[in-house]
A and B are shown apart, each in its own frame.
Chain A
Amino acid sequence: MNVSLFATCIVDMFQSNVGKSTVELLERLGCTVSFPKGQTCCGQPAYNSGYVKASKDTMKNTIRVFENAEVIVCPSGSCAYMLKEYVHIFKDEPIWQERAQRIADKTYELTQFIVEVLGIENVGAKLSGTATYHPSCHMTRLLKVQQAPMTLLKNVDGLEIIELPLKENCCGFGGTFSVKMGRISEQMVDEKVASVQQTNAHYLIGADGGCLLNIGGRIERQNLEVKTMHIAEVLNSR
């Protein structure tokens, strides 16, 4: 299958390893991966802060770049959901809405794509140790992808998954919330890190770059032992 990868700006700039793992993983599962070079960002930072007009050109760029793709795969639940939201955002611009619908229909978050489209539940990954998984809010509540990451993680050879206490609590990222409301964000991420520590797991795994930058950054700051990994990196471990 020809997959067009929407890597997200966070991966492009900060987490290139997540992008690499995604590509290698998908290729190993038999896909041909392309990276349309015109892609930038899904538009969320400005859109979620209320700058709807300023973000629409970004979204139009994404639509133009991806509308001819066979499928669009994105290693972020939040950004994948955003691509689907375009349909509502362009509700007053029928032509763009129609084009938005075309990309919405073929956009998948990475684990959702592997399980639901490729029909694969075991990717043949190996990683030894204990891990806990943070189900990010947009992926779980808005995109409604809950099972796929768990299914894939359970089948990673050597990995024992420990359930994260209060897992549905938001980590406090929220895009610009993390800097605009820094003090509240700090309380939230501390609560999340405390939950992670309770599990004593070696790895904290997530499927959203933003949340991982937030939780991982706090873990680094506190010099804790636990290692933060994106699920693509875990599934690409052999």
Chain B
Amino acid sequence: MAMKISKNKFNDRLSMNLDNDFMRSAVSSAQHRFQTRRSTAIESLDWEQWRNHGEEIRQHVLEHLDYYLYELSENVAARGGHVFFAKTAEEATNYITNIAKEKQAKKIVKSKSMVTEEINLNTHLEQLGCEVIETDLGEYILQLDDHDPPSHIVTPALHKNKEQIRDIFTEKIGYTASSQPEELAQHARQILRQDYLTADIGITGCNFAVAETGSVCLVTNEGNADLVAALPKTLISVMGLERIVPTFEEMEVLVSMLTRSAVGQKLTSYITVLTGIQEELDVDGPEEFHLVIVDNGRSSILGGEFQSILQCIRCAACVNVCPVYRHVGGHTYGSIYSGPIGAVLSPLLGGYDDYKELPYASTLCGACTDVCPVKIPLHQLLHKHREVIVEREGRAPISESLLMQAFGMGTSSQSIYRFGSKLASTAMKPFTSDDKISSGPGLLKNWTDIRDLPSPKKERFRDWFDTHSKGGRS
């Protein structure tokens, strides 16, 4: 899977998902659960102070990214690892498939990683004839379900309910028990256990890379990253260019904020820290370690007006509060990155051709900005995209553009405004009955399809005020 998950147009994706009641109730109850758990997890903290600290760490890293990337790669190398900088998705997949070829790998186990989805790594490895197995339960479900795309950056199978998951297991892996999450997970674990032992290569993502030690830190719910990293002889970790922290101290702060924001846990069940290759006294660990650092468009965001989006620690708190996401689900976004973070990031990494609708799929209500643990001004970035789309890219529909120019003219000139607003009630007369408009013309139709509109008043407020201030009563 690449970043783009659908060939359909935005409106078609939207229709399909709005009609999907299963998905909508699964998403809405998950959001509710996540929101409640998050509030409980932060209630005893001075969360604003934590957020300031989180923001500061991430901004500091971005300001000195070249320094920390250098430090990180030196330290990975010092512990026997190899570092590869991939400018593009293609460079990254080439490098990794070459390793697979060299090792004559047949089986590869993976822990959850959005960046490997972004670069479409699995497809490339499968074309090579490798069997690629996702070991994160959510990813595993999607893989079994004929590669259904992820709909959420932390819990990728969020759009499915447990009955649907049971059906997939029954059809694909001979499952016969109930739809209890524990039983389902148990069954998957049993199958996966064999795979860890027989895999030739393990591939992980990277929540944070620690520059000072060259370590890769992974946060998981199931401990599967431990096994992916420890058992196969060759380990490859793939990270986005910006996922660095200077030392363990900052890592602890951010991991703490990540798990609280993501799933409302004070600590997630497993934090895995990988540092270099197996040494003499180690009982397990890889004999060979590669860290692939993926740019794929990130460095061009650096230094520009969207830089703050690179502060993101992929906690999905913004996704979990977003009212638009709640109704349309992740797949409507057409990108593996959905919700507010996806609506900002996807057009930056994938271009406006595919993603120009996303910045408009928001009321700019600001709920995302409020919960972001690293204080990314998400709603402002969504607005910034709109400005770029309209004013620099010239991609707005002509009808809208004319309307907005007219608005600009009408509201910047007092006399035109006064004339226009007076005219409004006359102009709307044919559509008015009982003082309201129930079926309006043009764009107004999109309003009146759903709701009534009071008709513009013949006596505007300003007319009343005129009389009032002259001592008149009304």
Interface flag for A60 (CB, 8 Å) = yes
- B residues sitting closer than 8 Å to A (CB atoms) are 14-15, 18, 323-324, 327-328, 360-367, 369-370, 383, 385-391, 396, 400-401, 404-405, 407-414, 417-418, 421, 424, 436, 438, 443-444, 446-447, 449-454, 456-457, 459-462, 464-465, 468-469, 474
What are 16 A-B pairs with beta-carbon distances under 8 A?
A7-B462, A12-B461, A13-B421, A13-B460, A19-B461, A51-B401, A52-B391, A55-B407, A58-B408, A137-B367, A141-B366, A181-B361, A182-B447, A183-B15, A185-B363, A217-B453
Interchain CB contact under 8 A, B390 and A141? no
**Chain B contacts for A183, CB-based, 8 A:** 14-15, 18
The residue of chain A having its C-beta at the shortest distance from the C-beta of B465 within the complex is: A35
Chain A interface mostly: helix
Interchain CB contact under 8 A, A221 and B386? no
Interchain CB contact under 8 A, B421 and A12? yes
B207: min CB distance to chain A, Å:
28
**Chain B contacts for A46, CB-based, 8 A:** 404, 407-408, 411
Which of B370, B424, B452 has most A Cβ within 10 Å? B452
Give how many A-B residue pairs fall within 8 Å (CB-CB): 193
Interchain CB contact under 8 A, A48 and B449? no
**Chain B contacts for A174, CB-based, 8 A:** 362-365
Assuming A43-B411, A137-B365, is B452 touching A220 (CB within 8 A)? yes
B56: min CB distance to chain A, Å:
21
> Would you give the 0/1 interface string for A1-45, flagging 1 where the beta carbon is closer than 8 Å to chain B?
000000101011111101110010000000000110111110101
Interchain CB contact under 8 A, B446 and A40? no
> Given the complex of chains A and B, what is the CA–CA distance between A13 and B428 in angstroms?
12
B83: min CB distance to chain A, Å:
40
**Chain B contacts for A182, CB-based, 8 A:** 446-447, 449-450
A32: min CB distance to chain B, Å:
10
Partner among B450, B465, B468 whose Cβ is within 8 Å of the Cβ of A221: B450
Interchain CB contact under 8 A, B389 and A57? no
Interface flag for A155 (CB, 8 Å) = no
Assuming A181-B360, A183-B14, is B461 touching A142 (CB within 8 A)? no
> Given the complex of chains A and B, what is the CA–CA distance between A48 and B444 in angstroms?
18
> Given the complex of chains A and B, what is the CA–CA distance between A65 and B412 in angstroms?
11
Interchain CB contact under 8 A, B365 and A141? yes
Stretch at the interface among A94-102, A113-121, A125-133, A165-173: A165-173
Partner among B15, B327, B366, B369 whose Cβ is within 8 Å of the Cβ of A187: B327
Assuming A46-B404, A50-B386, is B457 touching A16 (CB within 8 A)? yes
Interchain CB contact under 8 A, B465 and A189? no
Partner among A14, A41, A53 whose Cβ is within 8 Å of the Cβ of B454: A14
Q: Which 5 A-B pairs have the closest CB atoms?
A: A174-B363, A50-B386, A217-B451, A57-B412, A54-B408
> Given the complex of chains A and B, what is the CA–CA distance between A175 and B385 in angstroms?
17
> Given the complex of chains A and B, what is the CA–CA distance between A40 and B407 in angstroms?
11
A90: min CB distance to chain B, Å:
14
Interchain CB contact under 8 A, A170 and B365? yes
Interchain CB contact under 8 A, B408 and A186? no
**Chain B contacts for A53, CB-based, 8 A:** 391
Interchain CB contact under 8 A, B323 and A179? no
**Chain A contacts for B457, CB-based, 8 A:** 13-14, 16
**Chain A contacts for B369, CB-based, 8 A:** 141
Assuming A16-B459, A45-B407, A172-B323, is B360 touching A52 (CB within 8 A)? no
